[in-house]
Structure 1
Amino acid sequence: MILAVDIGNSNIALGIYNQRWVQHWRLSTVANKTFDEYAIQLQSLFANSGIPLSAIEQVVMSSVVPPLTATFQRMLAELTQRQPLVISTSLRTDLSIAIDNPHELGTDLLANAVAGHHLIRTDCVVVDFGTALSVVTVSQTGEIQGVCIAPGLESAMKALSTNTAQLPFVPLVPPPSVIGKNTAHAIQSGIVLGYVGLVEGLVSRIENELERTVNVIATGGLAEVIAPLTNRFSRLEPWLTLDGLRLIAALN
C-alpha cells in the first residue's frame, strides 16, 4: 500500500493506494498545528478506515507549506516506519520542464503535470481549483510548457468579504441567474460564473498560442463546482495530484 500526502495552503489531501485508490481524506491546513495534533488526526483516520498503519509500504508527500514539511516528514516516518519520499523537481518524472527556473515549479503542479500526461498522452492542460487557481500546460511529448496562476475561488471570496464593508461570505455555488437579484446571487455570479469565463478564456488563449487544441483536466477541491458549468473539461479528476505523487514515487 502507498500513502500519498499533498500539503496545500488550505487543505491537506491524503490517499491510500492498493492497486486502486481505496481511501481519500481532506484535512484543513493549519501551519502552526503541532506534530502531536496531526499524528492524532492521522491515527484516527486510519483507525476509522480499518487500515493499519503497519500496512503502508511506501509514503510519498509534497508540500507547499514549508512550516509543515518537516513536521509531516517526521510524523509519517514515525507512524508508518517508512521514510517519506518528498517530491522535488530533482526527482525523475519522465517529463521535461521548459520554464525559466524549473525549481520555481510547485511540487503540486509537478504532480498534476505527471498525472495529466499519464492520463491523456497528448497535449493537455490541468486546471487545479485550490487556494490558487493554477493552469499547467503539458505537451504530447511530455514537456511542461508553463503555468498560469490566479487567486482561487475561496481566496477571491475571502478578499471580497474582508475588504468590503457590506459584502458577506456566501456559499460558492452557481446562482440561479447570471444577473444577480440579491447580494448573495450577485457575488456567486461574479465569482463562480466569472471563474468559468476565466478558465475558458485562458484555455482558448493557450490553444491560440500553441495553434492546436488541448484536452483539459479539472482537479482540486472546488473542481466539482465549476466542471458542470462548462464543456471545456475532458475529465474531472478531484484527486489528480495524489495520483501524480504515486506515479513519481513509482519512478523513484
Structure 2
Amino acid sequence: MILVLDVGNTNIVLGVYEGKNLIADWRLATDHKRTADEYGVQVMQLFTQKKLELDKVEGVIVSSVVPNIMYTVEHMVRKYFNQTPLVVGPGIKTGINIKYDNPKEVGADRIVNAVAAHETYNRALIIIDFGTATTFCAVTKNGDYLGGTICPGIKISAEALFEKAAKLPRVELVKTPGVICKNTVTSMQAGILYGYTGSVDYIVEKMKKEMQDYGESEPLVIATGGLATLISKDSKHIDKVVPYLTLEGLRIIYDKNKEQVS
C-alpha cells in the first residue's frame, strides 16, 4: 500500500492506494498548531475505521503548499509509518516540462494535477482546481506546463463579501433557480455562484485562444477540488470533473520515483 498526502491551505487530503486502486481517502483540517502526534493519532483512527494496517504501508509521498506545517507532517510519517516520505519538489521526476519563468514558484499541487491529467488523457489540457485559491493550468499534449492563472477561491470571495459589507449575512453556497432574486440571501447566492461561473468560463475562453498560439488543438477542460461539481453544472467549458486528480497524480509521481525511495 502507498499513502499519498496533499497538504493544502484549508485541508490535508489523504489517500491509500493498493496498486492503482484508491481504497481509502480522508480529509483533515490543515492546522499548523497541531502536533505530529495529534495528526498521527487521528490517522491511526482513520486506518482502524477502514480496517487498514499502518505497517502495510510501503511508501509515502507528500505534496504541500503550506511550508510551516511540513515538519509536522514529515515527523508524523516517520514516527507512525516508519517511512521517510517522498516530497514533491525540485529533483523529483514528473514527466512534465515546466515553462514558468521560475519553475520553483509553481505550487506542488499544480504540478501533481498536471502529471495526473497528462498521463491519463495525453492531449492538450486546461486544469481548474477549486481550492482555497482557484488555479487554472495550461498543459500541452507533449507535457509542457505553459503556466496559468490564480484567482481567489469561491469561499474566500463569499467570506470577503460577508466581512466587508456590514448588512450582508454569511450565506450557504447553493444554486438558486435564477438571478432575479427576491431577497438578500438568494441574491448573494446567485451573485457568488453565477458570477464565479462566469469568470471561470471567461478565463477558460481566453486560455483556449492563447493555447492556439502554441499550436495546440482544442484542450480538454478538467475540474477538480471541493466545489468543482457545483460550478461545472452551469459552466459552458468544463468537460470533466475528476475529484481525485491530485491523489492520482501523487501515485503516478511515486511510481516514477520508486528507485529514489528505495
TM bracket, shorter-chain basis: over 0.9
Query: Deviations 1:23-45 (Å, cap 9, x if unpaired)?
Result: 11111111211222111211111
Please give the secondary structure, in 1, of the residue aligned with 2:231.
helix
Range moving further from structure 2, 205-214 or 7-16: 205-214
1:229 equivalent to 2:234? Answer yes
Matched ranges for 1:234-249 at <5 A: 234-249=239-254
1:117 equivalent to 2:122? Answer no
1:198 equivalent to 2:199? Answer yes
Structure 1 segments of 4+ aligned residues over 2 angstroms from their partners: none
Identity of aligned residues (%): 40
Please give the secondary structure, in 2, of the residue aligned with 1:93.
coil
Instruction: Measure the CA separation in 2 of the matches of 1:31 and 1:174.
Output: 33
Query: Deviations 1:56-95 (Å, cap 9, x if unpaired)?
Result: 1110001111121010001011111111101114311111
Unmatched 5+ residue regions in structure 1? none
Range moving further from structure 2, 118-127 or 35-44: 35-44
CA contact (8 A) 2:201 2:236 kept: no
So what's the TM-score if we normalise by structure 1?
0.97
CA contact (8 A) 1:219 1:238 kept: yes
2:44 aligns to what? 43
CA contact (8 A) 1:89 1:107 kept: no
Residue 231 (structure 1) shift:
4.0
Instruction: Measure the CA separation in 2 of the matches of 1:62 and 1:206.
Output: 26
1:6 equivalent to 2:19? Answer no
Query: Deviations 1:115-144 (Å, cap 9, x if unpaired)?
Result: 111121100011000000001110001000
Q: CA RMSD in A?
A: 1.1
1:16 equivalent to 2:16? Answer yes
CA contact (8 A) 1:92 1:251 kept: yes
Unmatched 5+ residue regions in structure 2? 258-262
Range moving further from structure 2, 220-229 or 46-55: 220-229
Instruction: Measure the CA separation in 2 of the matches of 1:136 and 1:81.
Output: 35
Alignment length, in residue pairs? Answer: 252
Instruction: Measure the CA separation in 2 of the matches of 1:174 and 1:141.
Output: 38
1:208 aligns to what? 209
1:72 aligns to what? 73
2:56 aligns to what? 55
CA contact (8 A) 1:89 1:105 kept: no
Aligned partner letter, 2:159 = K
CA contact (8 A) 1:129 1:152 kept: yes
2:224 aligns to what? 219
Instruction: Measure the CA separation in 1 of the matches of 2:224 and 2:126.
Output: 11
Please give the secondary structure, in 1, of the residue aligned with 2:165.
coil
Range moving further from structure 2, 143-152 or 89-98: 89-98
Instruction: Measure the CA separation in 1 of the matches of 2:166 and 2:190.
Output: 19
Residue 172 (structure 1) shift:
1.1
